[in-house]
Structure 1
Amino acid sequence: MRLGLFNGDPTGQQFGNIGPDQVCSQENQMLALDAARDGIVLLKNSAGLLPLSKSKTMSLAVIGPNADSVQTLLGNYAGPPCKFVTPLRALQSYIKHTIPYPGCDSVQCSSASIDGAVNVEKGADHVALIMGLDDTQEKEGLDRVDLVLPGKQEELIISVAKAAKNPVVLVLLSGGPVDISFSKNDRNIGSILWAGYPGEAGAIALAEIIFGDHNPGGKLPMTWYPQEFVKVPMTDMRMRPQTSSGYPGRTYRFYKGPAVFEFGYGLSYSKYTYELTAFSRNKLYLNQSSTKHKINNFDSVMMSILVSELGTEFCEHNKFPVRIGVKNHGEMAGKHPVLLFARQTKQGNGRARKQLVGFHSVKLSAGERAEIELEVSPCEHLSRANEDGLMVMEEGTHFLVVEDQEHPISIVI
């Protein structure tokens, strides 16, 4: 609407005559590259396999049905790209002796040329497997019925990794989560990168990360469920788990089953440490004139107050900042997202396991420390929905959590 789509003939509007020279400006192309860099998530990096050495890597085998595809990078919500660069071409810009091989007839991978892939990788210093999904597997109007890789992709990955000279790099292109549990503990698979559908500059960003010209810092935007989660009917949208029926719940806030990877997970080439440095609140006293409600919590009774009864003025007045110190202990500069969560001491009875308060990305040079500030709104972040769908605040201890650091806040009614 703000672009004027409903204001008549678009050619007469402010943005109605934008041409390729404007869309593909240097500034916009750099924005696409930065977005791709920020979104790629390092899921595994055993023994520091990545980044690969540009000087010591003499040959690279690039195998997989997504290795030389532009369309997969774009997904199905994109216009024509300004540049056509596939993962294969981007990796070739680093290693001249790059040997490509699709391995599968398509992403569906109904047949896999495993022997051919193994022969291609023989003698290569390293192997990059570019696997995953594309719009033949998931898109608007086409839902997936499985969480595993299509066809014989898993078999191809395991076989190539087993025969490789060194542990392989597995790159996944997909819009949603994939159950790759088989790869997490496979010593022949040294590193795993998830890139989503990273857009026209995604291949360049992937190559930069693989060869150490960019330090990955992306975090997963969703929980990666195991294949058994498909037993849950798609139409059952309850958030909270139900022990009696075995329903595991949905989303990082409530899901209690096993996860392939958790929401917010993501590694880096740097190690970061955190310090909760400044708080203006350790206790929060709720309005004593508000109506108190009793909540049975298994072996105890808790008091709660409706957020609506506390009033807007109270909620605004009791917001407070939290300062978090972050230090980069690595040898590379990095852009690092800091995620602040809240959780209650008491669990069960419809309470979330945790919930995201906020996040902030900070750029740090090697060895640099900085402080960031996030705002906590108790009425929003320390409340929960009761059985009637009304937001309540409960007495007791809550915790603000950043990785392994916690700070308690007591709510007194």
Structure 2
Amino acid sequence: MLTLSCKLTAKGGSILSWAEAYDKAYGLVSQMTLVEKANVTSGLGWAMGLCVGNTGPVDRLGFPSLCLQDGPLGLRFADKATAFPAGITAGMTWNRGLLYQRGAAHGKEARGKGIHVLLGPAFGALGRMPAAGRNWEGFSVDPYLMGIASAETIKGIQSYGVSATAKHFIANEQEHFRQGVNAISSNVDDRTMHEMYLWPFADAVHAGVGAVMCSYNKVNNSAACENSKLMNGLLKDELGFQGFVMSDWLAQMSGVASALSGLDMTMPGDGYLWDDRKPFWGPQLTRSIINGSLPYDRLDDMTTRIVATWYHFGQNKDFPEVNFSSWTKNSTGRIYEGSGNPPYGEVNKHVNVMEDNHLLARQVATEGTVLLKNNDGFLPLKKKAQKIGIYGEDAGPGDGPNACTDRGCNQGTLAVGWGSGSSDFEYLVSPLEAIQRQAAQDGSKISAILNNTLLAEVESDSSKQDVCLVFINSDSGEGYITWDNNAGDRNDLYAQKGGDNLVLAAAKRCRNTVVVVHSVGPIIMEKWINHRNVRSVVWANLPGQESGNALVDILYGDANPSGKLAYTIGRSLEDYGPTAGVMYTANAEVPQQDFTEGLYLDYRHFDKESISPRFEFGYGMSYTKYSYANIRVYQTGRRTPLPARRPHSPVSPPTYNSTIPKPEEALYPPGFQRINRMIYPYLDSENITYSKYPYPEGYDTPATPSQAGGGEGGNPALWEELYKVTVQISNTGHVAGAEVAQLYVSYPSEKKVDFPVRQLRGFEKVWLEPGQKKTLTFYLRRRDLSYWDVVRQNWIIPDSTICVSVGASSRKLYEHASLP
């Protein structure tokens, strides 16, 4: 297991690319008083500003209250903003450029609303359990694909001067028992932590992410938001993270301990309970400095990290003010909603930030759609007059896309999951609406039954149709919402609302049945997948506001399917392994979840146990065909077992000559007008005595820097290219399309070190006209070939033959070579 450290390590300001921001931050923070520094690090309390998170300002120095706002696919609670396809849909595009564009559009919209810190992307949960509620917010169960997708998204978001947030740090893998003093403990060994759960966070830090959100759960029985090994050791020292760590909302479990462990900002400012106004920080943080229980230089580092991030993204110049309210869609309302009192004013300016992002949202949804089955090339549908039956509630508008708060129910067509990772819809194009539009152009007749329980009617009606489109789904989300007894996590992997029976009813008498699936994750489809009348299966994921339009593009061939699965679809939950099930019943007062499967998640487990999946990781069909040939390997760097030694930093963190003020200097100023229920950093009493705090033994001894560190994302040598692999891809069919070529690395079996059968370590998406061929190039970095050595505490390339394979999925690999 990971061992805890009580040593304070890795102050911000040690990386050259952040040096200018830290210099500016030093200039501002050095002018701040103790209470001003405490104010910057503390939330004002739930709903005490216009955003879901609001920090305290320093008005006299021009430092604003920072606006922190969800989320990963849109701007939660805001109007006139785009509801993009979910992370899992974007991940299934396997398109680096499109992931960047989605992030950039998201960041531009956030800036347009005055949001300083966007609370996304999400890549924890990684997806250890296929039924876990929030897997859909991330991009893939594979850490490599998750890392690349996250990095591109972050770079896109931050290109508009908005800080992205890497969340949830770390091993936050299910919703049951996720919160509170007795939150579930994810018990993870050192190698698994590095190669699986920490891997995408390294990509995020390497991409320059401005913020990290620590998670609700415990890790090895220490709360993630007061775990020094995680925040000080892995994140700030080993990965060289230069931004600030915020708590998830009410994930802070202590005051001084969390600060010592590396937490820099508390959100939303309250204590253990929502809206309780019993903060761990705020006035308590001020008190802890004066009484000696928290070193002043720790508060200086916390404040500096936050201010440096503000400078780093240029938010000190021409940044828009917040122009929306999280608490009302009305133009006017309370300025401080959580106070329950005046003043009132304009809180919503209804700024439209959508521009033409519907085109991008549609493209992401289209490229993220995966064609799983297409017997005899039944799809695409011909644009001709025909009779089309549409069956299933998931095809229609239901009661409207915003019928339930935070999308907390499965009704109508499923376009996003539920919880804080969702957003409001300005509109949602349902499949029925889009298909009806196409049918009108073709002269086709539509018959629609949108009630999943009318099975006899579906069976009868389907017999009269030329084509039957059956829509089924499966929904999940964050644990504060329960729908149909699904408390965030799904209760099983079956289609919800009787989806299996709906498919069987239509397919019984309709010879040309197409099943469309909108889902947060894998579903078991064994009851109907081999039915002779189920001609095609379209996996549409969570497509966002352009759902129907994107689907019609695929169904009618205006777009050639190019999506690939970002997880495995098994034949049963048991296929995923004995630890893949959600813990629904606590096994202790503090539930203990041992990650004994180690590296063997998803396809790695299927490969190890030689289990045949229903559809493998990386799988996806096309309306054309591709061939692979002529793999070549070129060594471009020096291969050594160990990376170069950690480099010496050319810059040093700022140091302050901070003198602990007298208690009376931290009192409320004379005549200060308090806002009801606002959290302030001031003290009511000066009756405080300083004493030397009994810190743990060795706390003041500088920690030995990790040899795996030295730059953003870890030792810079880990990011150096060692090999280049080329392969030729040809479109041998009659339709233009895009293929995702995937590269997997394999190691020979060794007694000393256990390796998965194969691991994804490269992918490229290429557009090819019929008959066209192109040469693709994959670049292998040192980290792509290394494993984490728990004894040497470093990344090691094994001294043995490493094989690379390239193909169309994890099970369809056509070209093979060895690395010299």
What TM-score, normalized to structure 2? 0.42
Identify unmatched segments of 5+ residues in structure 1: 105-111, 242-248, 291-306
Q: Are the aligned partners of 1:239 and 1:251 in contact in 2 as well (CA < 8 Å)?
A: no
* Cα separation, 2, equivalents of 1:196 and 1:61: 22
Residue identity matched to 1:43 = L
Structure 1 counterpart of 2:129:
none
Match of 2:604 among 253, 256, 272: 253
Q: Are the aligned partners of 2:642 and 2:795 in contact in 1 as well (CA < 8 Å)?
A: no
* Partner deviation per Cα, 1:363-391 (whole Å, 9 max, x = no partner): 222222222222112x3222234565754
The answer to whether 1:143 aligns with 2:489 is: yes
**Displacement after TM superposition at 1:284 (Å):** 7.5
Q: Are the aligned partners of 1:42 and 1:216 in contact in 2 as well (CA < 8 Å)?
A: yes
The answer to whether 1:53 aligns with 2:382 is: yes
**Displacement after TM superposition at 1:211 (Å):** 0.9
* Cα separation, 2, equivalents of 1:399 and 1:171: 38
* Partner deviation per Cα, 1:96-138 (whole Å, 9 max, x = no partner): 311110241xxxxxxx22111012223211000011123xxx1
**Displacement after TM superposition at 1:276 (Å):** 4.3
Q: 1 or 2, which has the higher strand percentage?
A: 1
3-state DSSP class of the match of 1:339? strand
Structure 1 counterpart of 2:536:
191
Residue identity matched to 2:559 = H
**Displacement after TM superposition at 1:230 (Å):** 8.2
Structure 2 counterpart of 1:354:
758
3-state DSSP class of the match of 1:89? helix
3-state DSSP class of the match of 1:94? helix
124 and 289 in structure 1: CA distance in 2 versus 1, 3 angstrom threshold: closer
Q: Are the aligned partners of 2:373 and 2:621 in contact in 1 as well (CA < 8 Å)?
A: yes
Structure 2 counterpart of 1:221:
566
* Cα separation, 2, equivalents of 1:81 and 1:145: 27
1:77-92 paired onto structure 2 within 5 Å:
77-92=421-436
210 and 318 in structure 1: CA distance in 2 versus 1, 3 angstrom threshold: closer
Q: Are the aligned partners of 1:282 and 1:409 in contact in 2 as well (CA < 8 Å)?
A: no
The answer to whether 1:177 aligns with 2:522 is: yes
337 and 272 in structure 1: CA distance in 2 versus 1, 3 angstrom threshold: same
Q: Are the aligned partners of 2:641 and 2:798 in contact in 1 as well (CA < 8 Å)?
A: no
Q: 1 or 2, which has the higher helix percentage?
A: 2
94 and 15 in structure 1: CA distance in 2 versus 1, 3 angstrom threshold: farther
Match of 2:733 among 308, 311, 330: 330
* Partner deviation per Cα, 1:316-340 (whole Å, 9 max, x = no partner): 6662222232222222222322221
15 and 265 in structure 1: CA distance in 2 versus 1, 3 angstrom threshold: farther
* Partner deviation per Cα, 1:160-196 (whole Å, 9 max, x = no partner): 11210x2310000011111112333222111111111
* Cα separation, 2, equivalents of 1:343 and 1:288: 19
Structure 2 counterpart of 1:67:
395
Q: Are the aligned partners of 1:167 and 1:187 in contact in 2 as well (CA < 8 Å)?
A: no
**Displacement after TM superposition at 1:289 (Å):** 13
The answer to whether 1:113 aligns with 2:458 is: no
3-state DSSP class of the match of 1:61? strand
Structure 1 counterpart of 2:634:
280
Q: Are the aligned partners of 2:637 and 2:722 in contact in 1 as well (CA < 8 Å)?
A: no
* Cα separation, 1, equivalents of 2:495 and 2:642: 56
Match of 1:375 among 755, 779, 794: 779
**Displacement after TM superposition at 1:203 (Å):** 1.3
What TM-score, normalized to structure 1? 0.79
* Partner deviation per Cα, 1:285-314 (whole Å, 9 max, x = no partner): 636999xxxxxxxxxxxxxxxx96xx9687
Match of 1:162 among 501, 508, 511: 508
* Cα separation, 2, equivalents of 1:116 and 1:324: 52
3-state DSSP class of the match of 2:366? helix
Match of 1:23 among 353, 358, 362: 353
* Cα separation, 2, equivalents of 1:139 and 1:346: 39
3-state DSSP class of the match of 1:66? helix
Structure 2 counterpart of 1:102:
450
324 and 86 in structure 1: CA distance in 2 versus 1, 3 angstrom threshold: same
**Displacement after TM superposition at 1:14 (Å):** 2.8
Match of 1:125 among 466, 471, 487: 466
3-state DSSP class of the match of 2:595? coil
Q: Are the aligned partners of 2:632 and 2:817 in contact in 1 as well (CA < 8 Å)?
A: no
* Cα separation, 2, equivalents of 1:352 and 1:385: 13
Residue identity matched to 1:16 = V
346 and 64 in structure 1: CA distance in 2 versus 1, 3 angstrom threshold: same
30 and 131 in structure 1: CA distance in 2 versus 1, 3 angstrom threshold: same
* Cα separation, 1, equivalents of 2:538 and 2:621: 10
3-state DSSP class of the match of 2:536? strand
Q: Are the aligned partners of 1:59 and 1:126 in contact in 2 as well (CA < 8 Å)?
A: yes
287 and 59 in structure 1: CA distance in 2 versus 1, 3 angstrom threshold: closer
Residue identity matched to 2:477 = K
Structure 1 counterpart of 2:748:
345
**Displacement after TM superposition at 1:21 (Å):** 6.9
* Structure 1: 4+ residue segments shifted above 4 A: 3-7, 9-12, 17-22, 282-285, 287-290, 311-318, 386-390
**Displacement after TM superposition at 1:223 (Å):** 1.8
Q: Are the aligned partners of 1:220 and 1:264 in contact in 2 as well (CA < 8 Å)?
A: yes
The answer to whether 1:398 aligns with 2:811 is: no
* Partner deviation per Cα, 1:34-84 (whole Å, 9 max, x = no partner): 1101111111111111111112x5111000120103632133334333433
3-state DSSP class of the match of 1:319? strand
3-state DSSP class of the match of 2:544? coil
3-state DSSP class of the match of 1:325? strand
3-state DSSP class of the match of 1:23? coil
* Cα separation, 2, equivalents of 1:239 and 1:230: 8
Match of 2:362 among 33, 46, 51: 33
238 and 223 in structure 1: CA distance in 2 versus 1, 3 angstrom threshold: farther
Q: Are the aligned partners of 1:240 and 1:254 in contact in 2 as well (CA < 8 Å)?
A: no
* Cα separation, 1, equivalents of 2:454 and 2:803: 52
Identify unmatched segments of 5+ residues in structure 2: 1-50, 56-63, 68-112, 115-318, 325-348, 402-413, 480-487, 583-592, 645-706, 709-713, 808-813
Q: Are the aligned partners of 1:321 and 1:376 in contact in 2 as well (CA < 8 Å)?
A: yes
Q: Are the aligned partners of 1:276 and 1:322 in contact in 2 as well (CA < 8 Å)?
A: no
Structure 1 counterpart of 2:371:
42
Residue identity matched to 1:373 = T
3-state DSSP class of the match of 1:358? strand
**Displacement after TM superposition at 1:236 (Å):** 4.2
- Larger RCO: 1 or 2 (CA < 8 Å, sep 6+): 2
Equivalenced residue count is: 370
Residue identity matched to 2:625 = K
The answer to whether 1:14 aligns with 2:341 is: no
Task: Name the % identity.
Answer: 26
Residue identity matched to 1:65 = E
254 and 397 in structure 1: CA distance in 2 versus 1, 3 angstrom threshold: farther
3-state DSSP class of the match of 2:622? coil
* Cα separation, 2, equivalents of 1:314 and 1:279: 21
Structure 2 counterpart of 1:298:
none
* Cα separation, 2, equivalents of 1:288 and 1:16: 49
Which segment drifts farther, 269-278 or 33-42?
A: 269-278
